[in-house]
A and B are shown apart, each in its own frame.
Chain A
């Protein structure tokens, strides 16, 4: 079907977000039906509109692209017949159009795509597609006419700061590593992306893996490393497969190996798959893990630039950071640093999830307000309930109330309101979320990920969690909040690595902005959002109940009998309410509490 000459083109998004909702079935149906037609069918990566996967893009001419969302194999016939054969787009199913590039829809207006330039556009499994989009042009430019120092200078001038969380200047970091004497140096790509709620790196690796190979080549050339390692988390099998394929294709074409592009530069790349440890996203732990040991961090200095993997000078860079590199080398530092704010240059990709209407990936210039991203680009909340809070930066980050959503999304603005960008996860919450429960969630997550090496993190997180558990059980006491603050502050100051130092962040920010909710739990034994199990009860509304018995079948403990839910046996899992089609189950504050 791929003829290269066909002007009619159909693309199907086959990243994990597309595959998870049946994208492959859609692709197969299209392949079967398009057989014999002069139409090119290609898989592509993630366009960012994860909320409408499976996505199918139909283009009948060069600058006309129609994107269909929620496509099923059953819908394929009509799309082919009406749109492809007869040239009449099916407006009811149309999600958006992009005419010559992005820019004709709410979702793409306001986005500036550098990192995601090829995502959802090219076939991630084809090196030819990447090259046709200008790929491997940057390494060619660097090898042909730039010294390593010049490459570092351009990256430094671009103002690019690491996207892995710490926000350190990439150019400076490379400069340090270059300056250290040593014949063997390493460049590591950190693809551990452990933050729940962040999926930027996954999308890049699955949708544009060659951009990471090229970014690492340039980084290797700049710092003087001949070996690169991509450390990728085990939870991303598709990303690992695609990057592996990209590496083998790059080897075949001579972009990896010795005398790359007839220069004296030699570079080899390999993959290490993680084994399920969040702390291995921290660079020193990651090096321990690559060395085959327990992935515990070590204190710095010495900096990895001096003594990193196997004691050699090493630079660790995040996936998104590396995805910017080739673009900057090709387009120049100025094209990049004219975007963004004074101190945060360029763009940042955010991953939106939670109660948001259009969840997925958006790339915007640094400094855009949270409101613009959440409302203008992503359509506000998915429910009819108003926005309550936004959580940014996952387990290292924090949450802010709806009243602060005019704050800007850049490293320093976020810092000033007690947040950090983390890896760009933005979780949108409506009034149905309990902020105490959310803070407890992050705490229990981080506590489980503490490697146990240092006492403040190991014991502090445990003690804090115990207090949270008490509060959400309705056994909170006076002074609990002050105690949490005290433990949190000492943990932040005394922990060995970034994990322990930032575990208190979500707690402190939610205490700062939602203290009244904590007080309701402690003083009134009441959970305003009706989430904390010990403080709520479920009931049947006889007027709505049709006696269908669905809830009885789902109830794991057999607590439902007739119109009664036995409070003693009910575990408050909420399954009954979820499966009821008649709104006949209700949740209320538990008797005994005030309210």
Chain B
């Protein structure tokens, strides 16, 4: 919902088990479980896969296989802000590559990387559904569109300042 960064919790068995039990009442719940774990921790800790397996009875390998199939799941902790740069057709045509370069200049993190100060993780995805206002990106859950290389730097600076303000 918010543009605000999230301070991620440290994985704990109690929390993971509660998430698994909450969804395990339905069959086929592996993906909702993984999603809530990622919402909580920002990524899927390997111990979570073991806990899911133990409680649901699904073999660990199957859970891991499922998790790795879907692009949304991360296996390493992300930075405080996750930036998803749209590389869909309309955005690409409107200069998404330049937006990505500009983000790289500002954060020193390229696509798929987390910045040294752990403020930003940069990811890409294809189409946020706002193509007529390309290029677009999403910071955490907030959409930004009609970007230029300059405006994106301003947006990122705001993110950084926001952090300092709240610290």
Q: Chain A: which residue is nearest B108 at the CB level? A: A556
- Are A294 and B28 in contact, CB atoms less than 8 angstroms apart? no
By a CB distance below 8 angstroms, the chain B residues around A438 are 89, 93
- Are B143 and A196 in contact, CB atoms less than 8 angstroms apart? no
- Are A194 and B129 in contact, CB atoms less than 8 angstroms apart? no
Tell me, yes or no, whether B69 is within 8 Å of chain A by CB.
yes
Tell me, yes or no, whether A272 is within 8 Å of chain B by CB.
yes
Q: Given that A275-B73, A427-B93, A556-B104 are contacting pairs, would A445 and B28 also be in contact in the complex, using a CB cutoff of 8 Å?
A: no
Least Cβ distance of A489 to chain B in Å? Answer: 24
Contact with A along B69-107 (1 / 0, CB 8 A): 111110000000000000011111111011001101100
By a CB distance below 8 angstroms, the chain A residues around B148 are 578
- Are A20 and B143 in contact, CB atoms less than 8 angstroms apart? yes
- Are B90 and A276 in contact, CB atoms less than 8 angstroms apart? no
Cα distance, A524 to B80, chains bound together (Å): 48
Of A50, A394, A442, A554, which one neighbours B130 at CB under 8 angstroms?
A: A50
Q: Given that A197-B127, A273-B35, A394-B89 are contacting pairs, would A50 and B133 also be in contact in the complex, using a CB cutoff of 8 Å?
A: yes
Q: Which of B89, B97, B146, B150 has the largest count of A CB atoms less than 10 A from its CB? A: B89
Which one, A82-90, A230-238, A257-265, is touching chain B?
Answer: A230-238
Cα distance, A53 to B145, chains bound together (Å): 11
Q: Chain B: which residue is nearest A50 at the CB level? A: B132
Tell me, yes or no, whether A199 is within 8 Å of chain B by CB.
yes
The contact size tier of chain A is 35 or more
- Are A275 and B31 in contact, CB atoms less than 8 angstroms apart? yes
- Are A276 and B72 in contact, CB atoms less than 8 angstroms apart? yes
Tell me, yes or no, whether A407 is within 8 Å of chain B by CB.
no
By a CB distance below 8 angstroms, the chain A residues around B97 are 573-574
Q: Given that A236-B129, A292-B30 are contacting pairs, would A275 and B70 also be in contact in the complex, using a CB cutoff of 8 Å?
A: yes
Cα distance, A554 to B100, chains bound together (Å): 12
Cα distance, A198 to B132, chains bound together (Å): 10
By a CB distance below 8 angstroms, the chain B residues around A573 are 97-98, 101
- Are B144 and A235 in contact, CB atoms less than 8 angstroms apart? no
Q: Given that A275-B35, A295-B70 are contacting pairs, would A579 and B127 also be in contact in the complex, using a CB cutoff of 8 Å?
A: no
By a CB distance below 8 angstroms, the chain A residues around B144 are 20
A-B interface pairs (CB < 8 A), number = 164
By a CB distance below 8 angstroms, the chain A residues around B72 are 234, 274-276
- Are B145 and A196 in contact, CB atoms less than 8 angstroms apart? no
Contact with A along B116-148 (1 / 0, CB 8 A): 000000000111111111101010010111101
By a CB distance below 8 angstroms, the chain A residues around B62 are 293
By a CB distance below 8 angstroms, the chain A residues around B127 are 194-199, 235
Residues 191-223 of A contacting B (Cβ, < 8 Å): 193-199, 202-203
Q: Which of B105, B126, B127 has the largest count of A CB atoms less than 10 A from its CB? A: B127
Of A197, A292, A427, which one neighbours B31 at CB under 8 angstroms?
A: A292
Least Cβ distance of B88 to chain A in Å? Answer: 3
Which one, A32-40, A129-137, A352-360, A562-570, is touching chain B?
Answer: A352-360
Of B58, B89, B136, which one neighbours A20 at CB under 8 angstroms?
A: B136
- Are B129 and A53 in contact, CB atoms less than 8 angstroms apart? no
Tell me, yes or no, whether A277 is within 8 Å of chain B by CB.
yes
- Are B88 and A197 in contact, CB atoms less than 8 angstroms apart? yes
Q: Given that A295-B70, A554-B149 are contacting pairs, would A20 and B93 also be in contact in the complex, using a CB cutoff of 8 Å?
A: no
Cα distance, A290 to B30, chains bound together (Å): 9
Q: Which of B62, B133, B143, B146 has the largest count of A CB atoms less than 10 A from its CB? A: B133
- Are B70 and A556 in contact, CB atoms less than 8 angstroms apart? no
Cα distance, A433 to B101, chains bound together (Å): 20
- Are B65 and A17 in contact, CB atoms less than 8 angstroms apart? no
Q: Chain B: which residue is nearest A395 at the CB level? A: B89
Q: Given that A292-B29, A441-B89 are contacting pairs, would A575 and B133 also be in contact in the complex, using a CB cutoff of 8 Å?
A: no
Q: Chain B: which residue is nearest A452 at the CB level? A: B69
By a CB distance below 8 angstroms, the chain A residues around B125 are 235, 276
Tell me, yes or no, whether B32 is within 8 Å of chain A by CB.
yes
Of A20, A291, A354, which one neighbours B90 at CB under 8 angstroms?
A: A354
Q: Which of B31, B144, B149 has the largest count of A CB atoms less than 10 A from its CB? A: B31
Tell me, yes or no, whether A522 is within 8 Å of chain B by CB.
no
Tell me, yes or no, whether A190 is within 8 Å of chain B by CB.
no
- Are B133 and A197 in contact, CB atoms less than 8 angstroms apart? no
A to B CB contacts below 8 Å, 12 in the list:
A50-B133, A53-B133, A193-B129, A196-B131, A197-B88, A198-B129, A199-B127, A234-B35, A234-B72, A310-B27, A352-B132, A442-B89
Known: A310-B27, A441-B92, A554-B105. 4 other contacts (CB 8 A): A194-B126, A196-B127, A277-B71, A295-B69
